[in-house]
Amino acid sequence: MLKQFLLVLTVGISQLNADDGSARLLLAKQIHNKYLVEGMDIVVKYSLYNVGDNAATNIQVSDNGFRNEDFELVSGQTQFKLDRLGPGTNTSQTVVVRPRKFGYFNFTAAEVNYSGSEGSSVVLTGLSSDPGQGVIIAARDYEKQFSSHFLDWAAFAVMTLPSLGIPFALWWSSKSKYEAIALKKD
Amino acid sequence: MAPKAGSKMTREEELLLEGFNKNVSTKSSALFYGNAFIVSAIPVWLYWRVHTVDVAAYAIMFVIGTLVSTWLLAFAYKNTKHVLKHKLAIKREAAVTKEITKKLADDKKISKKKDERILWKKNEVAEYEATTFSIFYNNSLFLAIVIFASFYVLNGASPTVNYGLSIGSASGLIALLSTGTKS
């Protein structure tokens, strides 16, 4: 997480020199999960920062890293547009995906295209921070570690009840009977 | 007690000897081994469902573990019962005497055999209570030790180590404890 946050500050690549008066967008892509588990949601946050002097217009962010055969899109869009982002402002978008498989996965950078100033026909391109390689844990292993297995323990309790309950009940009934006889005054 | 007629003395002696004899009857043995097997087999469920161990892959280990544990558990039952029986016989003597006396109060004919009847009944009650308590006590201890060892001490160990040590130490420990003659 820290690594990814630091990467936010080390920018992506820019195609044109930033002139005075041009917008400059920084795009950060962060994975907001502690554990990446097969079949469980992964929250991806895209943050756009305009550190230039002018407003960026016609902004298009696209992330082609989440292929349909590997991930199911639960919420949000992997390609979204923004009309304008003023100088010194920021915005963010969240996308939720669900991995279909477990294993190592390389989270690649997303791309941003925008115009440096209003009305400009020159398109500037940038790449987001790269979250890098992550491990998507198999659902089975995650469950083994974190599930409470409540039903399994309940079934175990039911199974052991006769082995413990019946001998105890038999012993107790005999004991109380003879202790009562011993205490009874003739 | 002064010896009287030959047959009565022999019967009383028989009963007294039975009290000191550690050998169990076939019925008792079947009860012990049956219970021991059930209690030894139940932890396998926990290993399958909670530890998510593949039972098919470790089948031989589970079978051997269950059989060894069954034998040790039955051994513990027998020893515990034997120790308890003596103490219980002393404890229940007064109550059993009262019960038999009350029962045979009216019938003067059988009153001669009263002592024999009391001894026999005392033996039976002690045997019954000792058996049931021994089973209950050893089962509770066995299951408690298995759960503690498997989920706290050995949590994270490989299935073989976890099962082997949990079952082995639980059944070994109760077998060892049962051989103690003190209380």
Q: Do B42 and A163 touch (CB under 8 A)?
A: yes
- Please check whether residue A176 touches B, CB under 8 A: no
Query: Is the C-alpha dihedral spanning A165, A167, A173, A179 positive or negative?
Result: negative
Phi-psi region of A167 (alpha: psi -120 to 50; beta: other; left: phi over 0): alpha
pLDDT value for A16? 46
Interface pTM, i.e. ipTM? 0.83
- Has residue B107 got a pLDDT over 70? no
What tens digit of pLDDT does each residue of B54-63 get? 889 999 999 9
- Burial classification of residue B37, based on how many CB atoms lie within 10 Å of its CB (0-12 exposed, 13-18 middle, 19 or more buried): middle
What tens digit of pLDDT does each residue of B142-177 get? 999 999 999 999 988 899 999 999 999 999 999 999
Averaged pLDDT for residues A20-49? 90
What tens digit of pLDDT does each residue of A51-61 get? 988 889 899 99
Q: Do B50 and A178 touch (CB under 8 A)?
A: no
Tell me how far apart the alpha carbons of residues A30 and A49 are, in angstroms, rounded to a whole number.
Answer: 14
- Please check whether residue B39 touches A, CB under 8 A: yes
Backbone angles phi, psi at A104, to 5 degrees: -80, 140
- Has residue A84 got a pLDDT over 60? yes
Q: Do B46 and A168 touch (CB under 8 A)?
A: no
Nearest chain B Cα distance for residue A1, angstroms: 27
Nearest chain B Cα distance for residue A136, angstroms: 20
pLDDT value for B71? 95
Tell me how far apart the alpha carbons of residues B99 and A178 are, in angstroms, rounded to a whole number.
Answer: 9
Chain B residues near residue A167 by CB distance under 8 angstroms:
35, 132-133, 135-136, 139
Tell me how far apart the alpha carbons of residues B168 and B162 are, in angstroms, rounded to a whole number.
Answer: 10
Q: Do A164 and B50 touch (CB under 8 A)?
A: no
pLDDT value for B52? 83
